[in-house]
Every structure is written in structure tokens, then in C-alpha cells.
Structure 1
Amino acid sequence: MAVAKKKEKNTSGATLAPGVSKPKTLIIVESPAKARTIEKYLGSHFRVLASNGQVIDLPKSRMAVDIEHDFEPEYITVRGKADKLKELTEEAKRSSAVVLAADPDREGEAIAYQIGKYLKEKIKQTPISRVTFNEITKPAVQEAMSHPRDINMSLVEAQKARRIIDRLVGYTLSPLLWKKVKSGLSAGRVQSVALKLICDRERDVESFIPEEYWTIEAHLHAHQHAVRAELALLGGEKPSIKNEAHAKQIIASLSGKPALVSDIQFADRTVKPKPPFTTSKLQQTAANRLGFTSTKTMKVAQQLYEGVDLGHQRLGLITYMRTDSTRISESALGETHDWLRQYFPAQTPDAPVRYSVSNAAQDAHEAIRPTRVDITPDEAARYLKGDHLKLYTLIWERFVASQMKSAVIRTSTADIQIGDGLFRTSASSFLEEGFYKIIRLGASKEERTSHQLPFEKGETLHVDKIDGVQHFTQGPSRYTDASIVRALEELGIGRPSTYAPTIETLIERYYVQRDKRQLIPTALGKIINDILSQNFPEVINTSFTAKMESMLDKVEEQSVDWVSEIKGFYFPLKGKVDDVMHALEDMHGALDEKTDEK
């Protein structure tokens, strides 16, 4: 006699027919790479799908903000995402629960909110919750899954307010540019201020008049070591050499005279390791050390965060890469301290190093760090290549170094008397190598090299030659990716997620060109900047933009009514745009090249 199979029960209590598998929990993330990593950490009762970014958002073709009803936004299904939304809905209907696991920031919270709101209307009985991962490792994912929460509406409101402000500024100012200059142009709350900074700097560069000056160098030999020393004093005073004739006169007066080491002074200094990376500092360092653009840095960092195949497992190698905090979790501090005591005991302090967090920081996430300190750059090189290995190495070195002892450097400065001229040269050497023991990619060769002077006080050195070197005073430098990010951060403009997109927008719009890492405004960029900064100085300025950023932070803290704040700036702006629309001359054709044709 056949034995009847016992029917299984699902989590909602409904019975399942024989042979029907138990419903799974659906987890929705943004990217396929993140989905692949997370799915490997969870059992067969979970299904992980990617939304591929926003599926519900404001339309691009119009403002879609209801001015008359407290600036309520009009969200639609993103073009081309209807099939993706349908796929998520169908899978949610088959699932016992839905977990929204978009990135742990304002944008991620908004994505989770929009998807959750849509699904709740379609599948009213299925529970929907929210989780976040600061790092994508098995312990972190399992820990997050054990503590689901509701959507954080303060974060959603802050992101909503940001989008609306950006819409109001962009979609109010841009039509003015279309009508007066050229169709397809754009203005923006952050991008237009960044453009102003770049244009102002270019004006300073163009107006700078360089001045000629000369220095005098002595090329010496000591015990088969070449030594170069620069003239510091002439007749007891600092020389001011304006031209070649003056330089030759000084050289002639010093030629043929012996070189005596009259004094050597020693000075010791302590060099502390830098804190672990924030987003802006990572972008700046990657630009300076690796030549990466801000966009490239964030793209590679995103891939390291979402997960990399390590042969036997898939692992997110770094923590979340959009952060303004230098805070490190206690567990990571403990693991790193233990690792350092094992491999670098002489350079390990007695206790983990904790860095203070800036008052301006939101401190929503940890600093950027490796998720496992034991995956050294040498170990990672088995699985990572090229740009991914370089950026991981930079992050790993910076974090591990931040938990090591300071370096102690001795600088030896020698005075060398040649006639009436006092020449100086110096060399630096490590008394204690400290954190430099682990730094390779993150510091220049000069920083890491230890030198000592090859002579003693009282020695006479052989003079090979004395010559003059022509220089010109250096004016202000053009902005680079690194320096514009630093300027935006210092001025309180934008947030970690906006630095790279702001630069790329300026380049895509052809307002700015990148030439040998320098950001140079185009003729079009200068015209746009002149129109906006001259006619809307109250909006296109750093203090207004920083004030808006501060207000948006307060929305997240639930300490300000953003609707009232927006009313205070939008209606005067709209009136001013209408006035300028009538008064400003038409500039179509201003960029056309003139020819001799009639």
C-alpha cells in the first residue's frame, strides 16, 4: 500500500501540493554582480535578483514636479525597465517574502522604497523588508538578513528633496540656455558651481604673468658620491637673482674656491599615518598616484565592493565606497591589530588607532577598507589584474598603514661654504620606519627612500662645477580631478556620491575638457558660466550650494521642513529667469567660426 506524502507548509501557513517546492525569499539588489555574490552566501531558500539601478524615477523629458502642490514629484517606470519590473513582480508573487537590499545610502534607500511601494500594491499579503550591507561578505550578509527593518523614510525624504531641488534648478535654468545659446545645454545646482570654480581658476591662470628668476647650484663630489647643493646665502643675505647676467656674475665670483662643510644640523620629525580613505580622499589619491579619473575610481571601487571571484569563493573585497567617515568598526580594528602583531610586531602600536570623525561628516558608513586584511595585495594579485589590483592595493595599504606606528625621520642639513656663498643640501633617513614598512604604491619612491649625507663636518669637497638654473614663477594651477574634488569637499558642495558624476557631466556637455589631467573650460563652458554667474549670482555660488547641502542633511535628521525651504528660493528664481529670458541678448551662433565667405 502506497504511503501518501506529507504536504509541506509554507511560511504563511498555506499548504503546498505534492512535488511543489517551498516558496523562496526574494532579495532585490541593484547590480547583477552584487546579486551573484550574495546568492552564494545564502541557501537554496533564497533567490537574488538585480533591478539594474532605478526602475521607477522622474521622467527625463520634463520637470515632473507639481509646483502647486508642495512640489510633489511624479514618478514613472523608467523607459526600458518595464520588463525588469514585471520580472521582479512575478518573482515576488511566487515568494514567501521580499527583502530589499539596495545600497546603504540615500539613493539606495529611495530605490528600495520605490520598488517596495510598487510591489506592495501588487502583492499585498507578502511581507516586504529592508536590509543593508556595509560590506558584502558572508558574515555581514547573514548578520544583515537576521536584522531586517522598515524603510527609513527620513533617508527617502532627504533623497526626494535633493532630486526635487536639482530638478527645479536644472529645469528652470536650462530652457534659458536653450533659447539664448543652443538647444541641448544644461545647468545644475552642483555642476554649474563646479563650472564656475573651473572658469574662475582659468581666468587666474590666463591673467598670471610669470617672472624670471635664477638659482645657483654647486655640483660636488664626496667619497665617490655626487652631491648637489643650492646657494642659500651670498655675503650673509638671501640672493635675489633676476636674470642670467646676474647669475653668471655670481658664478664667476665663486669659481675656483674650495668647498668646506662648515656645519651639519640634524632635525627629527614624526610622520603619522593618514586615516583610512573617505570617498573624496580615495578619488584624490587615485588621481594623483594612479592617474585615474574620479569616474574610473568609483567604477572600479564599485566592482571591488560588489564581489570578485577568488577561485574557491566570491567575495566583496572592500567596504561600501561612498562615505565621508574615517570611522572603523571595532571588529575590523581588532582583526587588523591581531594581523599586524603577527606579521609586523615592531611597527604595531599597543592598541588599535581610532580616528576622529569630521563634524561635517554624515558618518553613515565606515571608512573604505578591505573586508579581510589577510588578503594582501600579493594574495589579491592571484585574482585581480590591472586597475582593480592597483586600486585594491591603494585601499589596503592606506588602511593597514593607518593602524601602524608613526615613522620617525631624521633630516640632516649641511652648510657648505664656497667663497662668499653658503650652499645647502639635505638628506632624510628613517630612525623608525613605522607605517612606511607596508607602503609601496601609496607613497612616492622619494618618500620611501632613506638617504644619508656622504660626508662629515669639516671635510673639503671636490667642486665639479657651479652653474645657474633658469626658473619662472608659477601661477595658480588648473584644477584636476583630484583638486576639484578637494575643493568641492572643502566648500561643502556635493556629497561622496556626486563628485564623479559632476565632473563627467561637465565633460559630456563639452563645458570642460580634460587635457593631461587638467580640467580646462571650453569656449562654450565660459559662455554658460558668464550667463549663469552674472545673472544668477544668488544661486550659482558656493555658499548657496553648501547651504542647500546642509539643509538636505537636516531633512534626514527631521529637523527642517524642506517644502518651506524650497519655496523660499524657487519662486524668486523663477521670476528672475523670466526677466532674464526677455532681457538677455540672443547668443545663437556665438561659437560659430567666422570665415571669409559672404
Structure 2
Amino acid sequence: KCKQATYTIQEVVTKPVRKSPPPPFTTSTLQQEASRKLGFSVAQTMAIAQRLYESGKITYMRTDSVNLSDMALGLLKKNIHARYGESYYQFRQYKTKIKGAQEAHEAIRPAYIDQESIAGTAQEKKLYELIYKRTLASQMSDAQLEKTIVTIAMSTASEVFMAEGEVIKFDGFLKVYRESSDEESEEQSILIPQVKKGQPLYVKNIEAVERFTTHPPRYTEASLVRKLEELGIGRPSTYAPTIATIQQRGYVVKENRPGQERKYNVFMLYQQAIQKIVKTEITGAEKNKLFPTDMGMLVTDFLMTHFPDILDYNFTATVEEDFDEIAEGTLEWTQMIDRFYKPFHRQVETVIETSERSVGERRLGTDPATGEPVIVRMGRFGPMVQIGESDGKKKPRYARLQKGQHIENITLEEALNLFRLPRTLGTFEKADVIVNIGRFGPYLQHDAKFYSLGREDDPYTITLEKAIEIIQKKREQEKNKIIKKFEGDKEILVLNGRYGPYLSYAGNNYKIPKDKEPSSLTLEECMEIIQRSTRSSEAKAETKKRESPVDSGENTKKGTGKAAAKKATSRTRTTSRKNKKTK
């Protein structure tokens, strides 16, 4: 259809568009925006905000309110007028959209509206700047844009092509702040040239690109906070601890996962000829996303089976509403506890009597070598594969799942592979070469030494020849690591490390001065460097000890030397923290 067609402008629609600024930060929106713009975790954002609040630079950071005080609004008006002119100011009052919001504190804003920047760490400066710009933008004028939609008709079909573009006529709040989103759009705004209805167009080229549907995106910490807020689960003070807890307990992990290469087709009409081009793209890559673990899925399945009411989203929201009523004095807390605890306790007693260990257990098949069943389940130390029944005559064999393997999708073949290790590849220099998987990944063992395998080396298929090559390469690297050693004292070594040359002696490392050539160092010079470094460390420790006040009397007898200094320092820090809270 496109090949022989002629093209004309069917319609040109131009309309004004206004964009309004976002409201000032609440706890959840600060966490989300700091994650998107600055890459901060939720816990990191709250820790930095806490320091800014304690040092008097921002208002209280645990709030669900979008309101600003009258004083702040007046100062913002004055500041915007002076900095950008009256046309950039617009008074605004925001209303929270969150159900059950308490609004006990005003929105998060700079303590001093006219303070554009602060002294502090790089992270504190970045977060403060984000809060400052968002607060300022919240009282600025709308951005005014002009959006143009062009419809292009083709002579051989009823289908049309559409082109959209927009230009900024007045930047308004965009002069200060642009809000980010979790879904990054592939489409960028384009500037459309002046065209008119009925104008003919000439084809340069037309592309048809194959596209695939994608699964819903996994949660980031920021998007999970937004979802919790939407569902009415938790309060501003509980978002960060909740997300930290599910990670600490091993229910979810935050990590990056590489994508997979995928081919897609592009059909191009160029000079009246259609060409097919096969391109590749990386799909499915995940960055800083939250992934459920086997433990997390097992716990969730168990709770959903036995405590569906507790895990219902509405339950937490209802409890929060009860808390609000208790705070308002319209509900007795004893009534609320009684209403919840009695049925919950009965439920717990029933589950203890009837629940079985087999929750989350999968039977994969039979081991061809022994005829025993192969089971994957959650064990005391994590997900594992078991060959044989626990109540059988023979003791079952166990193997832990490796990183990337999961209870719900591991196959029988993959499970049996886990029992092939450790594997003896053969002998080299009259010693066995063994391949195995340990705590830190796959490795080789030879002559009481260990050699890590690279990502490209599969422990299940690696050959003896490849293993010998890895061992010899590692030996060569170790050999090149030693720049110089001394006959007079074999414990002193001049080594080449990750960050440059250094001295090694008696298990300690020492920095080589910049004016010294490592390869030409003498034994006497090395000893001098070591002694000088030791004296410097001892002097610093002694100074620290003198500066740390120790309680008189009994406490001074409890320890001497480093132990006493350490205890004294600990007491001093504790006292300092207490004094700060008192203030």
C-alpha cells in the first residue's frame, strides 16, 4: 500500500497545553523522586533528610501533607518575584489525595526559603537542592506549550500517519524543576515544521519496526512506596523501615539483572523498494529492582493459605483507620485489640496443629541412578534439592540451589547437576584438580590452593586442559605481583596491588612514599618506611586516647591501652547523642 501511494497533509491541529507544577514533597514523593533523580535508596533518603532536619536546614521529613505555612508562602512569593519576575508567580493551595492522611506537619521544604544552597556532604547538597527546587516550583506559574498534531493521508488506503510535536511558549515552573517518572518514554517531543492542509509530502523513507509486549515492570523501592501509599498501607514513618525489613529478612533482594539479546525485524521502504533488516536489542535488563526470593515466596504462600484476612490489603488500611479513631478518642483501644486478637489467636492455634513442612515443596521426578525421588524445598539454610525421603532407610542427600535458581522453576536435570560436584577433573603435577562451587561461586582446588572460575567457565563442563590453563595463568599473575623480595628478611615484600605498589610485612600493608621507586627500594629503606608508619599510627592512637575523657574511679580500672580508649570513646559518643536529643 505504501509503495505506490502519494501522501498529503489531511489535517493540522494546533492547541495550547498547560502543565502545572507538582506539589511540595511529602515523605513518599521525596523518597520516589530522590530514587529517580539521585539514585538514592529509600533508607538512604530518610537518613540524609534526618541529618538535614537535625541541622535545621529543612522542615520535618515524616509528613503526608502538601500544605505550606503562610509564612513560607509569603517568602516564596517574595523570592520568585525577585528572582524571576511577577509573571512566574502563581499562588497555589494543594490538597492531599491520600486517603486517611493525617497532615500533622506541613510539607517538606527548606527551613529558610531564601537559602538556595547549603554546606554539607555531596549527598546532603543534592537532596537539599531537590527539596528547594520542588518547593519553589510549587508556587510558580504553569508552563504554556503549543501542541501540534498533523494527520497524513495516503492515496492507497484509509489508514493515516500521525505526527505530534510541542514547543514551549512560556516555561513557567519548568525554568526551575522538571518532575521525573518511573516509566521512561521512548518517544521524545519533536519540532514539527510549518505545514498546511492539502500540502503534498514526498517520501524519504518509511520504517515499520517489530515490537513485543512486555510484562508489568518490577517494583523499585520508589514505586513500591507509591503503591503502599495508594493502598493505604503504613504511614510516612513506616515506608522506609518496611522496605528495609523485607530485604533484611531475605524476602526480597534489590539487584541488577542482565537482559537477553533478542532479534527484531525492521521493514524499510526506501526509493520504492522494501528492505528487511534484522536488528538486535537487549531486553529484560533490570536495574535496582526488587526481586522476591524463594524464602519470600514460601512465606507469602504460607500466609496466604492460612492467614488470608491478615494479608488482605484492606486489613492494614482498616487497622490504620482504627488507629486514627483511637487517636481521636472515638474508639477504645481495648475493643480494637479484642476484636482482632481473639480470632487471630484461634487461627494460629489451628495452623500450628495442621500445617505441614511440605508447604512450598516440589517433587521434580526420580533420580535415574538410585530410583529415589528428587524434591526441591525450603530448608533451614535456604532453598535446596533433596534426593531420597527423610523417613526412608537411607539418609537423603542434599544440595543447595545456586544463585539464579528458584524453587518454582528449577528442572530435574538442573537439580541432578547440583550433585555432580565436587568433580575431579584429573591430575596435574601429581595432584588432583577438583572443581566445586562454594560460598563465593565456582572454583578449582589444586595442591591445597584455590582458584576462582570466571563467569564464562561452567563448573559442570570445564575440562582438565582449561583448568590447568587457569592455574598457570593465576601463578603467572602471582609471580608478577612480587616486585621485590629480600634475602635478609623474607617477610618483607614489595608488591604490586590493585591500587599500586605497596609494602607487605607480618600481615600488614604499608604505603610507599611517592618519591620512592618501588623496584629500587633497599631493605633498610623498607624497614624505615614500616617503622615510620608504625610510629605515626601509635601517635594517632595516643592522641585519641588523651582526647577521650574517661570516667574517674572504678571505670578507669576496667581496661587499659586500646580497650580502655575504645570504651571511653564509646561512652563519649553515647553521651554526645543523648545531649543532642535533650537540646
TM score, norm. by length of structure 2: 0.53
Q: Which amino acid is the alignment partner of residue 435 of structure 1?
A: F
Report the more deviating stretch, 517-526 or 281-290.
281-290
Distance 1:542 1:501, change over 3 A: same
Give the distance between the partners of 1:370 and 1:554, measured in 2 at CA: 32
- Secondary structure of the 2:10 match is strand
Counterpart among 551, 561, 565 of residue 332 in structure 2: 561
- Aligned residue number for residue 452 of structure 1: 191
Give the distance between the partners of 1:460 and 1:585, measured in 2 at CA: 74
Report the more deviating stretch, 326-335 or 352-361.
352-361
User: 1:157-168 alignment to 2 at 5 Å?
Assistant: none
Counterpart among 13, 16, 31 of residue 283 in structure 1: 31
- Aligned residue number for residue 8 of structure 2: 260
Give the distance between the partners of 2:68 and 2:224, measured in 1 at CA: 27
- Aligned residue number for residue 434 of structure 1: 172
User: 1:118-133 alignment to 2 at 5 Å?
Assistant: none
Answer whether contact 1:298 1:500 (CA < 8 A) is retained: yes
> Comparing both structures, which one devotes a greater share of its residues to strand?
2
Deviations 1:419-450 (A, max 9, x none): 43521111111232211121157689999x98
Counterpart among 292, 295, 299 of residue 40 in structure 2: 292
- Aligned residue number for residue 297 of structure 2: 526
Unaligned runs of 5+ in 2: 256-286, 359-377, 387-398, 400-415, 421-583
- Aligned residue number for residue 489 of structure 1: 229
Distance 1:357 1:441, change over 3 A: closer
Structure with more relative contact order (C-alpha pairs < 8 Å, separation 6 or more): 1
Answer whether contact 1:319 1:369 (CA < 8 A) is retained: yes
Q: Which amino acid is the alignment partner of residue 568 of structure 1?
A: R
Give the distance between the partners of 2:47 and 2:19, measured in 1 at CA: 32
Deviations 1:441-463 (A, max 9, x none): 7689999x985312311544443
Q: Which amino acid is the alignment partner of residue 384 of structure 2?
A: D
- Aligned residue number for residue 269 of structure 1: 17
User: 1:492-511 alignment to 2 at 5 Å?
Assistant: 492-511=232-251
How far the C-alpha of 1:416 sits from its partner, in A, is 2.3
- Aligned residue number for residue 341 of structure 2: 570
Distance 1:442 1:338, change over 3 A: farther
Unaligned runs of 5+ in 1: 1-252, 308-315
Give the distance between the partners of 1:330 and 1:462, measured in 2 at CA: 59
When the two chains are superposed, the root-mean-square deviation of aligned CA atoms in Å is 2.6
Q: Give aligned pairs, total.
A: 332
Give the distance between the partners of 1:446 and 1:433, measured in 2 at CA: 21
Q: Which amino acid is the alignment partner of residue 140 of structure 2?
A: M
How far the C-alpha of 1:357 sits from its partner, in A, is 4.0
Distance 1:511 1:340, change over 3 A: same
Answer whether contact 1:255 1:466 (CA < 8 A) is retained: no
Distance 1:584 1:439, change over 3 A: same
Answer whether contact 1:430 1:450 (CA < 8 A) is retained: no
How far the C-alpha of 1:559 sits from its partner, in A, is 2.1
Counterpart among 328, 333, 345 of residue 73 in structure 2: 333
Deviations 1:120-145 (A, max 9, x none): xxxxxxxxxxxxxxxxxxxxxxxxxx
- Secondary structure of the 1:425 match is strand
- Aligned residue number for residue 354 of structure 2: 583
Q: Which amino acid is the alignment partner of residue 437 of structure 1?
A: K
Deviations 1:499-539 (A, max 9, x none): 11111111111111123232221111110001111101121
Give the distance between the partners of 2:36 and 2:301, measured in 1 at CA: 31
How far the C-alpha of 1:556 sits from its partner, in A, is 1.8
Give the distance between the partners of 1:497 and 1:477, measured in 2 at CA: 26
Give the distance between the partners of 1:544 and 1:517, measured in 2 at CA: 29
- Secondary structure of the 1:254 match is coil
Q: Which amino acid is the alignment partner of residue 10 of structure 2?
A: S
Q: Which amino acid is the alignment partner of residue 393 of structure 1?
A: E
Answer whether contact 2:41 2:221 (CA < 8 A) is retained: yes
Answer whether contact 1:394 1:442 (CA < 8 A) is retained: no
User: 1:91-240 alignment to 2 at 5 Å?
Assistant: none
The answer as to 2:210 corresponding to 1:470 is yes
Give the distance between the partners of 1:338 and 1:328, measured in 2 at CA: 15
Answer whether contact 2:42 2:240 (CA < 8 A) is retained: yes
Q: Which amino acid is the alignment partner of residue 82 of structure 2?
A: Q
Answer whether contact 1:284 1:482 (CA < 8 A) is retained: yes
How far the C-alpha of 1:466 sits from its partner, in A, is 1.3
Give the distance between the partners of 1:346 and 1:438, measured in 2 at CA: 15
- Aligned residue number for residue 414 of structure 1: 150
TM score, norm. by length of structure 1: 0.52
Answer whether contact 2:10 2:151 (CA < 8 A) is retained: yes
Answer whether contact 1:318 1:369 (CA < 8 A) is retained: yes
